[in-house]
Chains A and B, each alone.
Chain A
Amino acid sequence: MKQSKLTIWSRLLWMFLKVNLLSPSGPASIGLLYEEAVGKIMTEAQFVEAVGVSNVLPGSEALKLAMFVGFAAGGVPGMTAAILGAALPPTVMMFLLALVLQYFQKEEWLQKFVSGMSPAVAALMVMVAWDLFRAGSAKKINRRAALIAALSALALFFNLPSPLVLLGAGILGVILFR
């Protein structure tokens, strides 16, 4: 890379601002990020590695990508710039929306809007759950994944706290998926 450090940092900041303004969610931003980053500030191999590792770790997709791409391109300062770029647009927008919405919480139309949205949000969650389960069982771990799912359902049915259930499932994963 022949560019000065400052250019790389401001490019990272700008790139992640742009990518996060234009994509609806973390996973959806990978394609756009590829176009923006590969060949300019990192190689394809570095990018594939960043996406691979960020899939393996827990946490928000968009942030993990920002951290890895930023770090690969510009070290810790690059990572900070990328995280800032990724975090600012969604949070500022949501903040403004929350500010506006609080004046309408008692309005009938907003309550109806939310009532109409609830079934759709529930449907969206069903889709997320299905995609997640399918992505996991694609790696020939069908039966084990189903076992973990069944055990989790049982535990939740008996009102065990969800963080505990998830932690247990992760530990079971470490034992089963060797």
Chain B
Amino acid sequence: MSLFLQLFWVFVKVNLLSTSGPASVGLLYQEAVGKFVSDAQFVQAVGFSSVLPGSDALQLAMYIGYAAGGVAGGLVALAGSILPPTVIMMGVVFLLQRVRREAWVSSFVEGLAPAISVVILFSAWKIFERGGETGWLGWALGALSLAAMIFKAPARVIILVAGVAGILILR
């Protein structure tokens, strides 16, 4: 399969099997790292997509597509992310006129949610492990970030601060 076909397919898959942008990160990690981007690039994609305003899913697609195949790669990844929900939505919109709600679609998504959580946790661990900082500094940064998020500090600020802290204190 050519690179563009692979990119397109990965983003179709990831967007069909996740419930929102942030929820797609776990699966995307498993599918993209080592194939299209390195660990460091993936961390940049996730980090900056939560810092910049707007849809995370599209930003991830743009960054990873661009890193893998230039501008054309970015556009292909975007098309893969936008098409599946659009096509499904069209189907549902027209179905909704007759059937109020498709029960099995919602059960499918409900079953998906806990599994997505687990996939995200597995990917989170790998990102942490391969981030290089698994010593006490890395654990401290992770624990502090988690604590700050539990107390509802905005994620974009925490991620920027952690990055700057990395520049200042690492090595």
Contacts and interface: CB of A to CB of B under 8 A. Distances in A.
> In which size bucket is the chain A interface?
35 or more
A152 B118 contact: yes
Most A Cβ at <10 Å: residue of B24, B26, B101, B156: B26
Interface string A68-105: 10010000000000010011011101110110010000
Interface string B101-113: 1111111111111
A23 B166 contact: no
Interface in B15-43: 15-27, 30-31, 40, 43
Interface in B139-171: 139, 141-143, 145-146, 149-150, 154-156, 158-159, 161-167, 169-171
Given A24-B154, A64-B89, A116-B162, A174 B111 contact: yes
Central interface residue in B13, B40, B102, by most chain A CB within 10 Å: B40
A137 to B, nearest CB: 8
B6 interface: no
B21 A97 contact: no
Contact of A63 (B52, B82, B116): B82
From B23, B96, B132, B139, name the one whose CB has the most chain A CB atoms within 10 angstroms.
B23
Contact of A173 (B67, B109, B127): B109
B42 to A, nearest CB: 9
A102 to B, nearest CB: 8
Contacts of A53: 92, 96, 101
B86 interface: yes
Interface residues of B, number: 105
29 contacts: A22-B53, A24-B156, A25-B56, A57-B89, A58-B112, A63-B85, A67-B85, A68-B89, A83-B82, A91-B59, A94-B48, A109-B167, A113-B164, A113-B167, A116-B163, A118-B133, A118-B138, A120-B162, A122-B125, A122-B128, A123-B145, A126-B120, A126-B146, A128-B23, A148-B115, A156-B118, A163-B27, A166-B115, A170-B115
Interface of B: 13, 15-27, 30-31, 40, 43-44, 46-50, 52-59, 61-63, 66-67, 71, 74, 78, 81-82, 84-86, 88-89, 92-93, 96, 101-125, 127-128, 130-133, 138-139, 141-143, 145-146, 149-150, 154-156, 158-159, 161-167, 169-171
Q: Which 9 A-B pairs have the closest CB atoms?
A: A173-B111, A116-B166, A118-B131, A90-B54, A59-B85, A169-B115, A119-B142, A120-B162, A60-B57
